[in-house]
Structure 1
């Protein structure tokens, strides 16, 4: 892995900064494709993007190709979403969803290929975030033994997300290198999300999503660098 700064076990929490991070995408240990996550300035605001690309022929194209993006600003230490978009590409079919967070009226709404039960406005509360912004908040907030509470407002729905940070660091192998990382986990119904965080790295070194006890997506960091 190439990186723009040294990894330090005792580094303080990172302030928000621009970066570009490259991941490999796996399912049940099998490589499905590649992903890029980036945080960049956007006309006086910020934008976080996640672009996933399948590399296993037609199966990869149907399962992996997706683009997500959230434009946001900062209010104190909070990341406040302003707009959100999701584009998914499959064989002969494409889906696109766009969301707008109206903080003046504390209401958010999504248009496009949205399920009927998610087309109504969603009331907003201070501190609400999109899924991508929660990844950044975990990097900011994770400390051994802490409980992290966030409210996920994305794609026409709102849900409380609670993450537990393990008391002890654990060894995580990423691109042939081993790191001592904080394990941050959320279990909700049949869904499980685990994020591994390393002090001094502005992006998760690994993100694992599981449903019904089986891996769905496993993103493993291979490179990160400051955005130009």
Structure 2
């Protein structure tokens, strides 16, 4: 696995790093996961080619506290194509496990009919087809797009079509870099905040040259819920 130390040193010394606009490449990234500020477990995010398409997976495993005792886990996966610079979803799978229960949701993005639909353990009203527009993405693909598109002071607009839901997503990239801790080290990153109403907040931290978010924080009612912090990553060739 690739240590973040070279990137941290380059950022601290002002050395040049690759721009945020880079070609999609396979990678595997490991995260520490916190819930309410307490260690919950680990997560792995992976992007890889599959059958002439691409696939992104996120696997979260609870290993501490009551959720760890219940063996709680969640997996998300999106099969997608790269059309120009657009990440076009083709299908989606979500699996949630707690004790002896297992919930599975599957979805299909039919671009010939411009419609997406989900089946499985999902509420009835979310099984209705959703009309697709060019550029629509799943949540996992939006994370990749934020890493690709983030530039200081920029506004990012996407359409979230995921698990029977349709929502506009707008993100604002901070003008200034800020410090983010990885274990005992800190480095500079772009903070990208989702603009939304209600009691939910999402922030994503991006570092030039790293193909995946270095931190993803979700908050509800002003309190931290899920916090993923990058520990290490590697490319397909192990570099």
Q: If the TM-score is normalised by the length of the shorter chain, which range does it land in?
A: over 0.9
State yes or no: 1:78 paired with 2:72.
no
Matched, 1:163 2:171: yes
Counterpart in the other structure of 2:234: 225
Q: 61-70 or 121-130, which moves further after superposition?
A: 61-70
Following superposition, the deviation at residue 179 of structure 1 comes to 1.3
Following the alignment from structure 1 to structure 2, what is the Cα–Cα distance between the partners of residues 44 and 178? Answer: 39
Identify which of 202, 215, 225 aligns with 2:224: 215
In the alignment, is the contact (CA less than 8 A) between 1:97 and 1:111 conserved in 2? yes
Shift of 1:198: 0.2
* Pair 1:60-2:78 in alignment: no
Q: Aligned match of 1:101 in 83, 98, 109? A: 109
SS at match of 1:134: helix
Contact 1:6-1:200 at 8 Å conserved across structures? no
Aligned counterparts of 1:123 and 1:24: Cα–Cα separation in 2:
36
| Partners of 2:31 and 2:231 within 8 A in 1 | yes
CA contact (8 A) 1:97 1:155 kept: yes
- Confirm or deny: 8 A CA contact 2:40 2:65 kept in the other structure: no
The alignment yields a C-alpha RMSD, in angstroms, of 1.7
Aligned length: 228
Q: Deviations over 1:151-196 (max 9, x none)?
A: 0000001100000000000011112221110000014221100000
Does 2:201 correspond to 1:192?
yes
> Cα gap change, 1:112/1:38 in structure 2, threshold over 3 Å: closer, same or farther?
same
What TM-score do you get using the length of structure 2 for normalisation?
0.91
State which drifts further: 60-69 or 87-96. Answer: 60-69
Helix, strand or coil at the partner of 1:70: strand
- Match of 1:2? 2
Quickly say closer, same or farther: Cα 1:191–1:57, change in 2 above 3 A: closer
Match of 1:202?
211
Q: 2:99 and 2:133 mapped to 1: Cα distance?
A: 38
Seen in structure 2, the aligned counterparts of structure 1 residues 54 and 124 have a Cα distance that, compared at 3 Å, is same
2:6 is equivalent to residue 19 of structure 1? no
Task: String of CA shifts for 1:29-75, please: whole Å, max 9, x gaps.
Answer: 21000000000010111000000001125422558510000000011
Structural mapping, 1:28-177, within 5 Å: 28-56=36-64, 58-60=66-68, 62=70, 64-177=72-185
CA distance in 2, matches of 1:144, 1:4: 21
Structure 2 gaps of 5+ residues are: none
